[in-house]
Structures are given as C-alpha cells and as structure tokens.
Amino acid sequence: MAENTEQTSSRPSVAILGLGTMGTGMAHRLLSQNGKVTVYSRNSDKRQEFEKAGASTADSPSKAVENADVVITIVSDDAASREVWLGRNGALASVKPGSVSLECSTISPDWVSELGKHFAEKGRQFLDAPVTGSKPQAAAGELTFLVGGQPDSLQKAEPVLNLLGRKIAHLGPLGSGARMKLINNMLCAVQAAGLAEALALAEKSRLAIDSVLDILTNGAPGSPMVKTLSKRMIDRNYDVNFYLHLMAKDVEYAVNLSESVGASHESADAALDLLNKAKEKGWNDKDFSSLIEPLRAQ
C-alpha cells in the first residue's frame, strides 16, 4: 500500500481546461487512475460534478493551472482556445515555470503558431497535441495523441499521456499535430459522406439493409469508421460521440489548410456541403453520423 501511495504522490498534477465530451472522458480517466486533477469549465454544473468525483475545481483558467505540472486544454475551436489561454483570467498568465502545456483541441495551424509565440515569449513549454478517438476511447484511456513540438517537452508530458492514450505520435515541430488532425478528420468526413450516400441509395433502392451492412462492413469498404457509423445511421441513433457542428468546423479548417498549401480539397468540399446541409436541417448538436438525414429527405 505504501508503494502505491508513493507512486500516486509522484505523479504530475494535471489541469484540464474544457469539459466537453472529450475533456470529461479524459478527466474521469485520470481520476480513475488516482491522478491529481484540477478541472475548469464555464459550466458550474460540470465543475460540481467533478468536485463530487474527487477532482479539484477552479472558476477560471488562471486559477486552474496555478499548481499544475501538465496543463491540457480541449475546447471547441480557435476562438474558445484563445479565450482560455489569453482572455480575461486566461491560463497563460498563471502557467508555472517548469510545466508543460498541451493544446489538445482541434484548431488551426495558424492559431497554434501564434499561441506558440506567446508561450515562447513567456518562457513556457508548449505542445500541440490533438487526439484521435472519440467518447469511448477518452473514457478508456485509448486515445492517440498527435504531437508537434520539442521532444524534451513531450518527455515531460508522457507520464500523463500514457494514462490517457494507447499511442503517442510525435510528428515534428510545433503545428505538425494540428495539421495531421485536420487531415485525419477531413478523411473521416469524406468517408462518412460517402457512406451516407451509399446507405441512402440502398434504402431508396429497397435493398435488404441487413445484407447491405454485411457486405459493406465486411468487404473492402469496411473501415472502422464505416463499421461504427453504418449502424448508427441505420438505427438513427445520433447520441453524440462527435458533434456534427464540430466536424463541419474541422473540415472547414482542413479546406483552409489545403488552400494555404495549394492542395486539392474537392472531396472535402462535398463532405462539408453535406455537413452544412445537415446543420441547416437542425442536426447541428447531434452526432455527425446524422449527415445522412438530408439525403433521406431528398
């Protein structure tokens, strides 16, 4: 027992800023591993939930990070990230010397670059480390971290990331993680859009859906994405693993990145168009598998 107590006391203290779907899963995972966790959310009910679960809570990003060895931010977009780090009572002002901060949100490479400059001016360590995986992987500690930044900063963060993930991919200098995450989510959206069209066509063709699913999921198209989303689309189960509006935002960022480097984005444009149609039809706050619904309504 004494050994376990010593191991727990030697673990770095962690601040998690943002308690959406992913931040909530990550915070609960750390608590389940006897981690020392302080959480911040604008939502007071969320803070109370974690206080009951044994976490420390803070009513501002600045207070949340004061004693943290590792700071993790996971929020919705560039604007939310800017507010958490640089806004009123922002976290960067209180990040302590010797700590390392990780931006795990899916944000634009331009914002990562700008934020990195703010950290450098303050003499603090910073990584961009967005994640792949969804709600179940966050809760189970099976995320993949896509990391950009200095290797020594990553080494400092690894004890925490190893509790939260099954894989850490160091992709290069700052901003590399953000670029990889946008490429990943762009492809996910394109696959989802293609799957939605295929299933809508199968339904309108009056094919036996069980046979359709068997062939699509166990044949050449049967990626993990297709296997997961096809059942959700057929069951019309749009409980959120990944919000539709966030996927639309990610694809928009990916299109912007493509334009900045002169890369093609025609298939991403088509996927984004379908996501935006679903948003207009009221599926904004549902799982992104609901992008099939505008096709069913045609």
Q: Which of 46, 156, 181, 279 is catalytic?
A: 181
Residues 22 and 167 in one domain: yes
SS3 call for 143: strand
CB count in 10 Å sphere of residue 145:
27
pLDDT tens per residue across span 225-235 = 999 999 999 99
Chain centroid offset of residue 27 CA: 13
Per residue in 91-141, pLDDT (tens digit) is 999 999 999 999 999 999 999 999 999 999 999 999 999 999 999 999 999
Alpha helices by DSSP H, listed for 168-208, are 176-204
Cα 258–chain centre separation = 20
Same domain, 188 and 162: no
The single-letter code of the amino acid at 198 is A
What does the alpha-carbon distance between residue 157 and residue 118 come to, in Å, rounded to a whole number?
Answer: 20
Structure tokens, 124: 């603090």
242 beta partners: none
Q: Are residues 169 and 25 in the same domain?
A: yes
Q: Total structural domains in the chain?
A: 2
Residues 226, 197 share a domain: yes
Model pTM? 0.94
Residue 275 in contact with residue 244, Cβ under 8 Å?
yes
Which of 154, 173, 192 is the endpoint of a domain? Answer: 173
115 and 71 belong to one structural domain:
yes
Q: Which domain range does residue 8 map to? A: 2-173
User: What pLDDT shows up at residue 236?
Assistant: 97
CA atoms within 13 A on the CB side of 264: 4
Write the pLDDT tens digit of every residue in 16-71: 999 999 999 999 999 999 889 999 999 999 999 999 999 999 999 999 999 999 99
Amino acid at 269: D
279 is an active site residue = no
pLDDT value at residue 3: 37
Report the distance separating Cα 184 and Cα 170, nearest Å: 15
